[in-house]
């Protein structure tokens, strides 16, 4: 039996995938409301294919509980935030979960950490926590790091097809964990040492963050000198060895906007490019806010309450708002002692922020200017409804005259 600890955006799909492929699974989470919802037969977030996977797992016998189980393998999938001052990883949730596992784990059990951590976290934080509890690594408890590699919006497919990395102190234990993941993973599974596994996951997301920052910085340079950044990127990408990404309103989610900071925190004198890239991405919502004010002034719009932000999530066609650029923009506006922007997102049905609408047409009726923060399919399919509005398109998806860009 496998006990999956943490039933959020990563833990739940992982538990469901394993259960639906013949593995006996009990999912554990401290959130009683979340566990009750799952036990009542409902998923806790929207994701293509998740409901079908949930039904398959239920039929296969998956169970959900707030209690840690006595079993021979645990998969820990809890959040790993970073300290906003030092930029170092904050392993508190991982350590708490591991300590709770140790209270019930039998001798010889394997604890697999799926949570993304900075290189050296397992050695500096997790191993000492295990040893301080009186356990010997390799005899009483085995430690493995198997970082997740899936993205909201395409989770089910990526769980099945993405390559995976298994980091272990003991190669034989690593191979045992590889066998478990092979029950569903059709991609290549590499077994390596723990620190390499830690580093590769952080580097993957850092690579993406740096390339996004280049596109965002390029957009600012082009805006400064009145050049078309999209035309420039289009032409540059005709070069066989150039692939510039598209700029946007900022970076969200719990990977690209967080993980690279781990390297900045651990290697402050070395991670200079990464540091500047993250600062560029983090300040992009402020850049969008400034564009809003510039366009309002140009068009003679004086009432900020007649400006609407389309999209609250961090990416299109999901309900995940973690580190959302829109939330960052609203926070920045509050810091400048201003409020009033209208907000709407078809995927967010609960009231999350002030001035939030739950109907697209009502939202449009209440504003003169629309800022496209997220490129949901809905906005692409209803471009005609934006006719007559002032539009700031942060993704270059709206084919109308009188559309502004970042």
For residues 110 and 177, is the Cβ–Cβ distance under 8 A?
Answer: yes
Q: Give yes or no on whether 2-79+89-192 and 284-405 have one common fold.
A: yes
For residues 241-258, give the mean pLDDT: 95
Residue 335's pLDDT is: 84
Query: What fold is seen in the domain 284-405?
Result: Rossmann fold (3.40.50)
Told to judge if 178 belongs to the known catalytic residues of this protein, a careful annotator would answer no
DSSP state of 124: I
The radius of gyration computed from the CA coordinates of the chain, to the nearest angstrom, equals: 23
Q: Which CATH superfamily is domain 2-79+89-192 in?
A: NAD(P)-binding Rossmann-like Domain (3.40.50.720)
Burial annotation 306-336 (CB, 10 A radius, 16+ → b, else e): bbbbbbbbbbbbbbbbbbbbbbbbbebbeee
Told to judge if 255 belongs to the known catalytic residues of this protein, a careful annotator would answer yes
For residues 143 and 130, is the Cβ–Cβ distance under 8 A?
Answer: yes
Q: Which of 185, 222, 255, 394 is catalytic?
A: 255
| pTM for this prediction | 0.92
Domain 201-280 annotated CATH 1.10.150.20: no
Residue that wins the pLDDT comparison between 393 and 334: 393
The string of pLDDT tens digits covering residues 46-56 is: 899 999 999 99
| Ranges of each domain in the chain | 2-79+89-192, 201-280, 284-405
The string of pLDDT tens digits covering residues 91-128 is: 999 999 999 999 999 999 999 999 999 999 999 999 99
Residue whose tokens read 């040492």: 193
pLDDT band at 336, cuts 50/70/90?
Answer: confident
Q: Which of 176, 201, 315, 342 is catalytic?
A: 201
The string of pLDDT tens digits covering residues 348-388 is: 999 999 999 999 999 999 999 999 999 999 999 999 999 99
């Amino acid at each position: 039996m496998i006990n999956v600890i943490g039933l959020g955006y990563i833990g739940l799909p992982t538990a469901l995938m394993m259960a639906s492929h013949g593995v006996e699974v009990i999912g554990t989470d401290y959130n009683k409301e979340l566990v009750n919802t799952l036990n009542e037969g409902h998923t806790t977030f929207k994701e293509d294919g998740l409901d079908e996977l949930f039904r398959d797992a239920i039929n296969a016998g998956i169970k959900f509980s707030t209690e840690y189980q006595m079993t021979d393998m645990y998969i820990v999938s809890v959040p790993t935030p970073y300290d906003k001052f030092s930029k170092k990883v904050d392993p508190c949730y991982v350590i708490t979960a591991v300590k709770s596992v140790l209270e019930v784990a039998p001798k010889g059990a394997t604890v697999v950490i799926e949570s993304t951590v900075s290189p050296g976290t397992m050695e500096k934080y997790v191993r000492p926590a295990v040893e301080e509890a009186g356990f010997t690594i390799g005899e009483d408890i085995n430690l493995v790091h198997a970082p997740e590699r899936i993205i909201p919006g395409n989770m089910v497919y990526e769980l099945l097809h993405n390559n995976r990395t298994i980091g272990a102190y003991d190669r034989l234990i690593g191979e045992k964990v590889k066998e478990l993941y092979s029950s569903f993973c059709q991609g290549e599974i590499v077994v390596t040492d723990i620190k390499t596994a830690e580093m590769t996951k952080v580097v993957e997301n850092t690579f993406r963050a740096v390339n996004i920052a280049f596109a965002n910085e390029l957009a600012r340079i082009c805006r400064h000198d009145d050049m078309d950044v999209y035309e420039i990127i289009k032409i540059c990408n005709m070069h066989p060895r150039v692939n510039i990404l598209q700029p946007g309103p900022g970076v969200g989610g719990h990977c690209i906007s967080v993980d690279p900071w781990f390297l900045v925190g651990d290697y402050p004198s070395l991670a200079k490019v990464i540091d500047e890239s993250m600062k560029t991405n983090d300040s992009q919502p402020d850049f969008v806010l400034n564009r809003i004010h510039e366009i309002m002034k140009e068009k003679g719009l004086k009432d900020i309450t007649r400006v609407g932000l389309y999209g609250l999530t961090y990416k299109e066609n999901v309900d995940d708002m973690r580190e959302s650029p829109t939330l960052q923009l609203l926070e920045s506006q509050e810091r400048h002692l201003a409020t009033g922007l209208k907000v709407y997102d078809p995927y967010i049905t609960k009231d999350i922020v002030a001035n939030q609408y739950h109907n697209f047409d009502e939202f449009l009726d209440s504003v003169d200017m629309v800022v496209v923060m997220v490129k949901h399919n809905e906005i692409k399919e209803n471009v005609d409804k934006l006719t007559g509005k002032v539009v700031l398109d942060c993704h270059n998806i709206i084919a109308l005259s009188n559309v502004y860009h970042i």
